Amino acid sequence: MSNKVRVRFAPSPTGGLHLGGVRTVLYNYLFARHHGGDFILRIEDTDSSRFVPGAEEYIMETLRWCGMEPDESPAVGGPCGPYRQSERKEGYREYADKLVAQGNAYYAFDTPEELEEMRSVFKTAENPSPQYDHRLRMKMRNSLTMGDDEVRRLLSEGMPYVIRIKMPDNETVSFTDMIRGEVSFNTSTVDDKVLLKNDGMPTYHLAVVVDDYLMNITHAFRGEEWLPSAPVHLLLWKYLGLQESMPQWAHLPLILKPDGNGKLSKRDGDRLGFPVFAMNWTDPRTTEFTQGFRERGFLPEAFVNMLAMLGWNDGSGQEIFSMQELIERFSMDRVHKGGAKFDFEKAKWFNHEWIKQASAERLLPDVKRVMESGGITVTDDRYLETVINMVKERCTLLGDFAEQAGFFFRTPVSHDIDSIRAKWNSDKENFFAEVQGVLKDLEDWSAPAIETAFKDLAVARGIKVGELQLPFRIMLVGGKFGPAVFDIAATVGKAETLTRIASMPSVV
C-alpha cells in the first residue's frame, strides 16, 4: 500500500461496549498493525441527549484490558485532534454551508409537530412510513419551497433549522466493499438525512465524512447495520469533492444470537445467562447493571481470540491465536460475509485453553484477586504459583480457582461424607488412625514418598489402595475433585495433612 494505513474506531459514549463493538475495534486494530499503520480512537459525541457519564472512560478501559491501545485518542492526543467530535463543532458548518451553496443540501425549518403531521397526513398503502425524501420534500417548509428572501429572513431572525442532504431521485451509487465486493444502491430508497442539527452539531452522516477526511483515514470498518447509510456517505464524499480521499470500506457481519435468529443483544445475554459486554457496566441514569466478560472470569487473551474467530479464520483450522499471531495472519479477505452465531460454551472453551497454557506467573495477579475476594489472603506468591500449576487445567473461568485451589489455603469446613459412607468400614477407619503415625515419621515429605508409605500400609493391612484414596481426598479437599491426592498432601505439608486426617468427621 502506498499510503500509510490509518483506521479508526469511532464509538458514541452511550453505554457499555457490546461484543460487536469490541470486534470492530479488534479488526481495525489487527489490520492497522498488520500493515504497520495507525489505530485511532475518535469519540462521536455529537448527540448530547444520548451522552452517558463514564462511558468514554469505560471504552478506553476496555481497549486497555484487551491490549488494543490506540496510537491517537482523546487521552493521548495526536496530530489530527481534537478526537472528540463535540470539540470540533465549528469546523463542520463550513462543509454543510458548502453543500447548501452547491444545491446538494438545503435548510429545513419544519417543527417537530410538522414532521409528526407529515408522517400522518402522507401515510398511504403505498407509503406506510412516510419519510422526508424526494417525494415529500416539496410539500414541507424548507429552502426548496420558499423564496430566497423568506429564507434569509428566517435565518436572520434565528428561526431554528436543520440542514438536510438533497438525495437525487432514481440514481445508482456504488462502491466496492472489501468483504462484500460491489455494492449498489438506488438513491430513491434513501431519505434526506439531517446533516447539521438545529444546535449546530453535525449528525453522524456529516461528521464521519469530514472527520475521516481530516484525519486521513484510509480504511473504514463498521458493522453491516451501517450499509443503508452508505449512499448518503458516498454522495457526501462526491459532493464535497473529496472522492480521491475516500477510505476503503468494509461492512462487518453481525454477531448473531445462539440460534442464529437475529442480532445478539444484551437482552439475549440476560435471558440466557451470559455477558455480552466486555466489562461490567452500570448505567448511571437507571442504575441497571450488566455483567462483563472480564468480571465473569475471562482472560483478555481468550476474549480477543474468541472475538477474532467470530467471523474470521485464516483457513488453517487453527483456533488458538495470540495477539501477535492474529496481527501476522489477519486479512480482510478471510472475513466472512454471513453473520456468526455466538456460542458461550465455545467462548468458555477458549478461556479454558488460554488458562491451561498460561504460565503461573501470568495468572498470579488474577488468581490472587479471586482468592482474596473469597476471603483468602495470599502471603506467599511462590506457593500460589505452585498451586496454580496444579489446578489450572481444571479451571474454565478465573473464578473456578476459588474452589479448585481454596483447600490449599484453608482446612475444609465441610466434607462429602455421603460419597464414601457406603464402602466405609472399621478396617478403613483403623487404617487412617494408623497411617497418621506412619506419615508423621516420614522424613521425605514428597508425593512419591507419601504414596509409597500409604500404599505399603494398605498392602500390609490387606485393603485395596483404590478404596482408600477417595476417603483420603475427602479428608484433604472436602470433595471429589482436585489434582493427584498425594501431590495435594505434599503441597499442603505434613502438619496440615495430619491435622486434616485427624479432624475428619465420623463417617458412620
> Mapping DSSP to helix (H, G, I), strand (E, B) and coil, where does residue 359 land?
coil
Q: Which residues, other chains included, contact 377 with Cβ-Cβ below 8 Å and sequence gap of 6+?
A: 371
Provide the total of helices (H) and of strands (E) in the chain, helices listed first: 21, 13
Q: Which of 98, 197, 263, 266 is catalytic?
A: 266
CB of 207 closer than 8 Å to CB of 215: no
Residues 7-37: tens digit of each pLDDT: 999 999 999 999 999 999 999 999 999 999 9
Cα separation, 120 vs 137, in Å, equals 15
Residue 2 scores a pLDDT above 70: no
Phi-psi region of 200 (alpha: psi -120 to 50; beta: other; left: phi over 0): left
Q: Which residues, other chains included, contact 187 with Cβ-Cβ below 8 Å and sequence gap of 6+?
A: 167, 168, 169, 170, 171, 172, 173, 231, 235
User: Can you give the three-state secondary structure of 22-79, one letter per residue?
Assistant: HHHHHHHHHHHHHCCCEEEECECCCCHHHCCCCHHHHHHHHHHHHCCCCCEECCCECC
Q: Which residues, other chains included, contact 48 with Cβ-Cβ below 8 Å and sequence gap of 6+?
A: 86, 199, 201
CB of 140 closer than 8 Å to CB of 78: no
- How confident is the prediction for the chain on average, in pLDDT? 96
Phi-psi region of 423 (alpha: psi -120 to 50; beta: other; left: phi over 0): alpha
Residues 292-335: tens digit of each pLDDT: 999 999 999 999 999 999 999 999 999 999 999 999 999 999 99
- The reply, when asked if residue 123 is annotated as ligand binding, is no
Strand order in the sheet with 162-165: 105-108, 162-165, 194-196
Cis link prior to 82 (omega < 30° from 0)?
A: yes
**What pLDDT, on a 0 to 100 scale, did the predictor assign at position 127?**
86
Cα separation, 302 vs 358, in Å, equals 11
For 493, other C-beta atoms within 10 Å of its C-beta total: 11
**What pLDDT, on a 0 to 100 scale, did the predictor assign at position 508?**
76
Q: Domains plus CATH for the chain?
A: 88-208 (3.90.800.10), 411-508 (1.10.10.350)
Q: Name the nearest CA neighbour of 405 among 491, 302, 296.
A: 491
CB of 440 closer than 8 Å to CB of 494: yes
- Mean of pLDDT values over 77-96: 95
Q: Which residues, other chains included, contact 138 with Cβ-Cβ below 8 Å and sequence gap of 6+?
A: 144, 145
**What pLDDT, on a 0 to 100 scale, did the predictor assign at position 1?**
43
> Mapping DSSP to helix (H, G, I), strand (E, B) and coil, where does residue 341 land?
strand
Give all strands (DSSP E) within 6-142, no chain letters.
6-9, 38-41, 105-108
Cα angle at 502 between 500 and 503, to 5 degrees? 65
Residues 335-375: tens digit of each pLDDT: 999 999 999 999 999 999 999 999 999 999 999 999 999 99
CB of 370 closer than 8 Å to CB of 298: no
**266 labelled catalytic:** yes
Residues 246-271: tens digit of each pLDDT: 999 999 999 999 999 999 999 999 99
**What pLDDT, on a 0 to 100 scale, did the predictor assign at position 378?**
94
For residue 420, give the C-alpha cell.
464414601
Residues 55-74: tens digit of each pLDDT: 999 999 999 999 999 999 99
Torsion, Cα 438 443 448 450, to 10 degrees, reads 20
Cα angle at 321 between 1 and 349, to 5 degrees? 145
**What pLDDT, on a 0 to 100 scale, did the predictor assign at position 293?**
98
Q: Where does the pLDDT of residue 46 fall: very low under 50, low under 70, confident under 90, or very high at 90 and above? A: confident
CB of 211 closer than 8 Å to CB of 88: yes
Residue 491 CB-density burial (10 A; 0-12 exposed, 13-18 middle, 19+ buried): middle
Q: Name the nearest CA neighbour of 53 among 282, 298, 375.
A: 282
